[in-house]
Structure 1
Amino acid sequence: MALTRKEKEEVVKALHEKFESAQSVILTKFSKMTVSQSSELRKKMRDLGGEFKVSKNTLFKIAARDTQVEVISDKFVGQNAVVIAYDDPVAVAKALLDFAKDNEVITIEGGVLNGKVIDAKGVEALSKLPTKEVLLAQLLSVLLGPQRGLVQVLAGVPRKFLYALNAIKDQKSE
């Protein structure tokens, strides 16, 4: 079923808005993907703050204009789909690579991360990074380290004074 001109314009507008608000867009090629596989991937992406979109290449190219995705618009050839990450590109890339390993119907071609082109190996490297929550926890740990050390040093002074008093008390009681 062919889309009308108005429907195409709506698809392009929606895709353009998605590309503008995306932190990363991963380009994939797919073949012989079943409806259940597609639904499974869409659900995974939605749960992680992402989206799996399939459209005509010409609509992808038009929607990519004046967005970060424009740098890879020449790669929209063949059966393409994009995975758009809005919140955590690392979690989305991990889930996509896991899906690609389990289902050989999809291959990662590359993508764009915060305006920079990445290839398939770059997407794989991105998927191996810790998630946003883990990175924030590590940062918090680093930031709290000096304060924790200061508290331990300051608590050590009265503790050592108490040990000295107990030692004096024990000496006098003998």
Structure 2
Amino acid sequence: MSEARVAKTAVVEEVRERFSDSDSLVLTEYRNLDVPAMASLREALREVGGDYKVYKNTLVRFAIEDLDLEIDDLLSGPTAIAFVGKKPDGSEGDPVSVAKALKDFAKNNEALVIKGGVLENRRLTVDEINQLAEIAPRDVLLSQLAGLLVAPMQQLAGLLNALPQKFAYAIQGLIDKSGGSVEEEVSSEVDDASDEETEEEVSSEVDDASDEETEEKEA
């Protein structure tokens, strides 16, 4: 096997692997995009977890023929593919950030043309990619979701902290509403209990004295 054929086979395997591993990708035409602009675009995509690759259309067609992707019509002219990969910090990139980076770059560089894409094996039109670019990035959405989850917990914590104080206010309100009758009833019950104990003590002393007198007479 010639070196050229070996090289082509390696590229086909690489393309097949990239298409299989990436849930999202965008195909672009980069005609007349100069080297500095290409380097700038690649850096912008790298920062958000995108990887911008240029392959021959014939090799891409051959690599994806078993992947059931209907993008044959997009593989014409000078084509580069933006795959979603990992950010420089090792975290996962997301389709929204990659689409946004491409859209923002294309605004100032007419040489870059977005042709279409794929999201989870579904074909995306240019309009759908532009709409995808308007969604908040994954990190922002997660932050907003965390805020929505934390807020009710903070409200619940505040409510629980306020319960003892509100309970005390409720008890005091009952006392004030009854005009002190609650306090008087409690005081009356305490006095009654005290009187009963006193009567029992006196009765016991009388019984003891009577028993002593009886014993003296018998003696």
TM-score range, shorter chain: 0.7 to 0.9
Q: Judge conservation of contact 2:27–2:114 (CA < 8 Å) in 1.
A: yes
Q: Judge conservation of contact 2:55–2:79 (CA < 8 Å) in 1.
A: yes
More displaced, 156-165 or 91-100?
156-165
Secondary structure at the counterpart of residue 52 of structure 2: strand
Q: Which has the higher contact order (CA 8 A, sep 6+)?
A: 1
Shift of 1:73: 2.8
Rounded to whole Å, the distance in 1 between the matches of 2:67 and 2:50 is 17
Structure 2 unaligned blocks of 5 or more:
86-92, 172-219
Shift of 1:162: 7.2
More displaced, 55-64 or 116-125?
55-64
Larger relative strand fraction: 1
Aligned to 2:64: 64
Q: Judge conservation of contact 1:27–1:81 (CA < 8 Å) in 2.
A: yes
Secondary structure at the counterpart of residue 121 of structure 1: helix
Shift of 1:71: 2.0
Which amino acid is the alignment partner of residue 89 of structure 1?
P
Aligned to 1:25: 25
Q: Which runs of 4+ in 1 moved over 6 A?
A: 162-165
Rounded to whole Å, the distance in 2 between the matches of 1:132 and 1:67 is 27
Out of 115, 118, 131, the residue aligned to residue 112 of structure 1 is 118
1:132 equivalent in alignment to 2:131: no
The CA RMSD measured in Å over matched residues stands at 2.4
Aligned to 1:75: 74
Which amino acid is the alignment partner of residue 163 of structure 2?
V
Shift of 1:143: 2.6
Aligned to 1:8: 8
More displaced, 18-27 or 120-129?
18-27
**Percent sequence identity over matched residues?**
38
Aligned to 1:47: 47
Aligned to 1:172: none
Shift of 1:61: 1.0
Rounded to whole Å, the distance in 1 between the matches of 2:33 and 2:169 is 71
The number of equivalent residue pairs is 165
Deviations 1:78-107 (A, max 9, x none): 121111113211111111111111111111
Shift of 1:4: 1.0
Which amino acid is the alignment partner of residue 117 of structure 1?
R
